[in-house]
Chain A
Amino acid sequence: KNQVEQSPQSLIILEGKNCTLQCNYTVSPFSNLRWYKQDTGRGPVSLTIMTFSENTKSNGRYTATLDADTKQSSLHITASQLSDSASYICVVTPANFGNEKLTFGTGTRLTIIP
């Protein structure tokens, strides 16, 4: 069964600090891997997307990495801001299916404190 596991489940850091969120997946083969940010009371919004051949992708202070050999991805947040407080969800698309077969992780709840 395709699975996506994220760690830690929750994380609290001081404003201005860096942090790294982890995603391990068993989906294989896969088409792409996305990181979504979900603010409280809002729907998820895509931050980065990487295909199986990409190792890293940046979006401002967010940098995602991908190791297709070990089936691991990470999301690194630099110089965190209060607005980074949200849930971060790792989503993997299997290669042989369309949009409807996305596999979602449970997310990491990140809290930034001043």
Chain B
Amino acid sequence: ETGVTQTPRHLVMGMTNKKSLKCEQHLGHNAMYWYKQSAKKPLELMFVYNFKEQTENNSVPSRFSPECPNSSHLFLHLHTLQPEDSALYLCASSRPGLAGGPGANEQFFGPGTRLTVL
């Protein structure tokens, strides 16, 4: 168990639906991330939160809306998605600011939410 949980594990939604993905980390980390993983493509960073503040928005369409109410919880709100948004959405957390050392920059990932948009 990595200490990062995600719900739901699977989600099927229509293009007009509104749904939310939830991520929770129990590791005491202060940075949380959303990634999109599509088949045969590298993980794509979507959003980064450090100490509840969004520090990175990687040109993600506005139909994806993140929310970070505290350093342990992260949400991804979805609305009017497209079929090409179908993918595995991974949440991760880390301790920011660690420079060097074996634990530097290690991100701990959740199991992901498999999203299918019809």
Contact = CB atoms under 8 A, between A and B. Distances in A.
Interface of A: 4, 9, 31-32, 34, 41-46, 49, 51, 89, 93, 98-100, 102-107
Task: Give me the 8 closest cross-chain CB pairs, A-B, nearest first.
Answer: A43-B109, A104-B42, A100-B48, A104-B43, A93-B105, A100-B56, A99-B105, A44-B109
Interface of B: 2, 4, 9, 31, 33, 40-43, 45, 48, 55-56, 90, 92, 94, 96-97, 100, 102, 104-107, 109-112, 114
A106 B100 contact: no
A45 B111 CA distance: 10
A32 B2 contact: no
- Interface of B: prevailing SS: loop
Contacts of B2: 43, 45
Given A89-B43, A99-B96, A106-B40, 14 more contacts: A9-B40, A31-B100, A34-B105, A41-B9, A41-B112, A44-B90, A44-B109, A49-B106, A93-B105, A98-B97, A99-B94, A100-B45, A102-B105, A105-B42
